[in-house]
């Protein structure tokens, strides 16, 4: 598996997805040696749970978790990979102008990779956690 994937590659992969462009995700940090990545997702009116609440709906948070988990594996495989399965636990309402997710690859094998993803708000409060299983073969 390749471990020399750089930030430019991740930014390019992100730009190739209309959905990620819609989400306006921003890559903050990528470390292939650690199998870790950090991204930011801004609040958008379309992401609000209910008008004027300032709370993120669970759907965009879930998509954010899946995307960041995928790109953590991509750092190690050399490209985006298919999602096999993932789960999300919401710990508190996610409120604020943006969320930050940190994904860490826990294990990568011949066929499956396991990733843990933490989501925090702008005050660095943990608001959701996810665990994803992804194919470790490019897809």
**Structure pTM?**
0.93
**In what helix (H) or strand (E) does residue 112 lie, and over which residues does it extend?**
strand 112-121
- Write down the pLDDT at residue 4: 47
Cβ count within 10 A of residue 91: 12
Where do the domains of the chain lie? 7-135
User: Between 11 and 127, where is the model more confident?
Assistant: 127
- Averaged confidence pLDDT in the chain: 93
Share of the chain above pLDDT 70, in %: 96
Q: Which fold has domain 7-135?
A: Thiol Ester Dehydrase; Chain A (3.10.129)
CA dihedral 75, 80, 81, 86 (to 10 degrees): 80
Quote the CA–CA distance of 72 and 88 in Å, as a whole number.
Answer: 17
Cβ count within 10 A of residue 28: 13
Q: Name which of 108, 110, 120 is nearest 36 in CA terms.
A: 108
Residue 62 class from Cβ within 10 Å (0-12 exposed, 13-18 middle, 19+ buried)? middle
pLDDT tens figures, 70-128: 999 999 999 889 999 999 999 999 999 999 999 999 999 999 999 999 999 999 999 99
Quote the CA–CA distance of 108 and 123 in Å, as a whole number.
Answer: 32
DSSP letter for 57, please.
Answer: P
Mean pLDDT of 8-21: 92
């Amino acid at each position: 598996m390749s471990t020399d994937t750089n930030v430019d590659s991740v930014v390019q992969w992100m730009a190739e997805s209309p959905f990620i462009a819609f989400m306006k995700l921003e890559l903050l940090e990528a470390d292939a040696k650690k199998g870790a990545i950090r991204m930011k997702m801004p609040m958008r009116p379309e992401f609000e749970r209910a008008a004027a609440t300032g709370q993120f709906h669970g759907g965009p948070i879930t998509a954010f978790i899946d995307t960041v988990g995928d790109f953590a594996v991509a750092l190690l495989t050399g490209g985006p990979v298919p999602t096999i399965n993932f789960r999300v636990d919401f710990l508190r309402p996610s409120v604020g102008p943006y969320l930050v997710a940190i994904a860490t690859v826990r294990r990568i094998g011949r066929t499956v990779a396991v990733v843990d993803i933490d989501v925090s708000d702008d005050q660095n409060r943990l608001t959701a956690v996810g665990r994803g299983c992804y194919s470790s073969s490019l897809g």
